[in-house]
Amino acid sequence: MSDKTKRIIAGFEHVEGSYEIENYLFGDQIDSVTPGCWIYGDTVYGDMRIGFENWGTYSVPVMAYLVHMNTVRLPTKVKHQQEIAVVNGYSSSVTTSIETNISLGTGFIAVAGGGLKITDSSTEGIHGSTTRSQKIEMEGPGTFNIYQVHIAYAHCATSAGPLAHLFKYAKTFARPSARQPDREDLYFMTSIATSTIVPVASKNSAAPLSWDDIQEAALMEGYDAEINGGMWSIDYSAFDTPGSHY
């Protein structure tokens, strides 16, 4: 991650809910849009499938960010409908940076997706990354960049530490107990697309962050598992909180 990218991410504010997220990222577009922001979000707990097993996992949204989808040039003053491939489910970059299959059931969207407009990739939950066709209307003249908002989630998969080698970016933390003296938890990130698609004039556009940049900033540099703190934290009481299970 470059020093410039570090400075950009360091300037991100913490916001909450889709209204604040979209207002912060896009604002009134007098200046350039903002490529991302930190999120205050609730932790949820449930089974996440990693490889061939289900693991009890805490999940919390930590960052919203813009993914560039397309650039459209309109030479004249005309209304134009551009057909684009909208991502559903996991961001495409997630599935290429993890060397195993990961999935979340439909209950995750119902419990964790409130107020964040996240999408699923099938009727049974999030099982990869898919695309669908959607038309976006713009009016020329001008050049427009089309962005989709994605939500980066941090996960703590309990006892899954031995699977860390399957992830490009991951942390582990030993948390032994009387029942599990060798317990080692796994911390990693995924990203889920939202239904928010926005065209932005080129003069107001901003270079998007890479998935590598986000994982480095949020997980590797932005979180300390030992103190459960940093730019975000996990609310472990979600395990015992009604309405926080999926």
Per residue in 39-55, is it b (16+ CB within 10 Å) or e — as a string?
bebbbbbbbbbbeeeeb
In the chain, domain spans: 3-236
| pLDDT computed for residue 123 by the predictor | 64
CA nearest to 192, candidates 133, 118, 124: 118
Give residue for tokens 């919203």: 64
Per-residue pLDDT at 127 exceeds 90: no
Q: What is the per-residue pLDDT across 59-108, written as a single tens digit (0 to 9) for each?
A: 999 999 999 999 999 999 999 999 999 999 999 999 888 999 999 987 89
Average predicted confidence (pLDDT) for the chain: 93
